[in-house]
């Protein structure tokens, strides 16, 4: 019987979730439900406004709308499962669902990372080549860059999942997390995973650390450039770059903590996971877009058109 258990493939994983306290689970369900709804409302508003307002049909807002779409997708991969787990006694996920969740999580997260690079390049061109900005960042270039971010995310995720699928899983099947992720799943493989861990950590660590350093360097160059030209437009650019650096740090620092180290359990892992899976998709609209005066005016125009249309339908 013992030998059978050791060779039976795992068909589902048990997720321990964020906490075992029923009172805290109910409180967290309310909190994260509000966060999830806010994420959807903020990002959907940005996407709708950019699509419907012709004044926002510029490279910067095109990229921001794509970031909003990624934020919605990223949040939807993990948060609904977390919310359902906070309400249920037994938190399980099938093996196939677990693999799919990891695939889409790294697919979308990879696309986000590469899009942040594209957005930094966009700001660099806008600051250093303002007269040629629209020529350089034309529609074809923007579409190609966005397509490249998704292809990059797809390649990154395929490599991750490919290495995971090569491992045998025959027990145990308990994940001390609220969603499936590569570090926790790999540790459950019933074989020596040291080589797989080394390959995955090397892949993740190289990508995350190099891109983080490149983003910090690029934003530092931009800040140094605009600091010597404190006109009104430059002050706006300075504020935009400073807030984007905040978002970059909020995303990359937790990622480096989780993925650029050996797959060992640390007490702060769950808190750090929440920081980069749940919080950034909600904050990105506020930091990148909704504090922008032009976007605020566009949202007001959209609301005015919607109210006018509503009154016209009633009459």
Kindly state the DSSP code that residue 225 receives in the 8-state scheme.
Answer: H
How far CA 81 is from CA of 32, 87, 106, 137, 177, in Å, comes to 11, 10, 16, 38, 11
Residue 141 lies in a domain: yes
Q: Supply the angle between the helices 95-128 and 232-259 in degrees, to the nearest 10.
A: 150
Host domain of residue 41? 10-314
Average pLDDT over residues 195-200: 88
Which value, in Å, is the radius of gyration of the alpha carbons in the chain? 22
Residue 137 lies in a domain: yes
Alpha carbons 87 and 24: distance in angstroms, whole number: 11
For the record, the structure tokens of 68 come out as: 């909003």
Is residue 180 within 8 Å of 277, Cβ to Cβ? no
Distance in Å from the first CA to the final CA of the chain: 75
Alpha carbons 150 and 144: distance in angstroms, whole number: 10
Residue 303 lies in a domain: yes
pLDDT at 2 over 60: no
E strands, the chain, where?
12-15, 92-94, 174-175
Burial of 302 (0-12, 13-18, 19+ CB in 10 A): middle
Residue 176 lies in a domain: yes
Contacts of 84 (CB under 8 A, 6+ apart): 91
The answer to whether the Cα torsion of 42, 246, 113, 144 is positive or negative is: positive
pLDDT at 309 over 80: no
pLDDT at 298 over 50: yes
Alpha carbons 250 and 247: distance in angstroms, whole number: 5
238 vs 251, which has greater pLDDT? 251
Cis check for the bond before 172: say yes or no (omega within 30 of 0). yes
208-246 pLDDT, tens digit per residue, is: 899 999 888 888 887 777 776 655 556 666 666 777 787
Residue 3 lies in a domain: no
pLDDT for 91: 82
How far CA 178 is from CA of 74, 77, 226, in Å, comes to 15, 12, 43
Is residue 13 within 8 Å of 3, Cβ to Cβ? no
Average pLDDT over residues 187-192: 89
Residue 1 lies in a domain: no
Number of domains in the chain: 1
Alpha carbons 150 and 148: distance in angstroms, whole number: 5
pLDDT for 243: 72
Is residue 170 within 8 Å of 190, Cβ to Cβ? yes
pLDDT for 22: 84
pLDDT at 111 over 90: yes
pTM (2 d.p.): 0.88
Contacts of 78 (CB under 8 A, 6+ apart): 101, 105, 178, 179, 277, 278
Residue 187 lies in a domain: yes
The helix/strand/coil state of 8 is: coil
Residue 276 lies in a domain: yes
Average pLDDT over residues 46-63: 90
Alpha carbons 48 and 164: distance in angstroms, whole number: 38
How far CA 9 is from CA of 154, 168, 189, 192, in Å, comes to 27, 8, 10, 16
Contacts of 105 (CB under 8 A, 6+ apart): 74, 77, 78, 157, 179, 180, 181, 277
E strands, 104-168, where?
none
pLDDT for 124: 84
Q: What is the CATH number of the domain that holds 16?
A: 1.20.1070.10
């Amino acid at each position: 019987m013992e030998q059978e258990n050791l060779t039976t493939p795992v068909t589902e994983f048990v997720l321990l979730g964020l906490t075992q306290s029923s009172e805290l689970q109910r409180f967290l369900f309310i909190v994260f439900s509000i966060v999830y709804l806010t994420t959807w409302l903020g990002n959907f508003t940005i996407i709708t406004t950019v699509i419907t307002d012709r004044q926002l049909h510029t490279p910067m807002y095109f990229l921001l709308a794509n970031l909003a779409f990624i934020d919605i997708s990223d949040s939807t991969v993990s948060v609904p499962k977390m919310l359902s787990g906070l309400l249920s006694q037994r938190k399980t996920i099938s093996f196939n669902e677990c693999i799919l969740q990891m695939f889409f999580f790294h697919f979308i997260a990879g696309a986000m990372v590469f899009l942040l690079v594209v957005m930094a390049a966009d700001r660099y061109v806008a600051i250093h080549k303002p007269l040629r900005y629209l020529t350089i960042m034309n529609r074809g270039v923007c579409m190609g860059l966005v397509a490249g971010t998704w292809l990059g995310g797809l390649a990154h995720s395929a490599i991750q999942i490919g290495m995971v699928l090569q491992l045998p899983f025959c027990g145990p099947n308990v994940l001390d997390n609220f969603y499936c992720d590569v570090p926790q799943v790999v540790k459950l493989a019933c074989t020596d995973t040291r080589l797989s861990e080394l390959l995955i950590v090397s892949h993740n660590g190289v990508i995350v650390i190099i891109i983080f350093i490149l983003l910090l360097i690029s934003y530092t160059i931009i800040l140094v450039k605009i600091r010597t030209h404190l006109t009104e437009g430059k002050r706006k650019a300075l504020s935009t770059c400073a807030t984007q650096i905040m978002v970059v740090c909020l995303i990359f620092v937790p990622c480096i903590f989780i993925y650029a180290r050996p797959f060992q359990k640390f007490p702060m892992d769950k808190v750090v996971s929440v920081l980069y899976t749940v919080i950034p998709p909600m904050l990105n609209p506020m930091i990148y877009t909704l504090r922008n005066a032009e976007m605020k005016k566009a949202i007001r125009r959209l609301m005015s058109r919607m109210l006018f249309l509503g009154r016209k339908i009633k009459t």
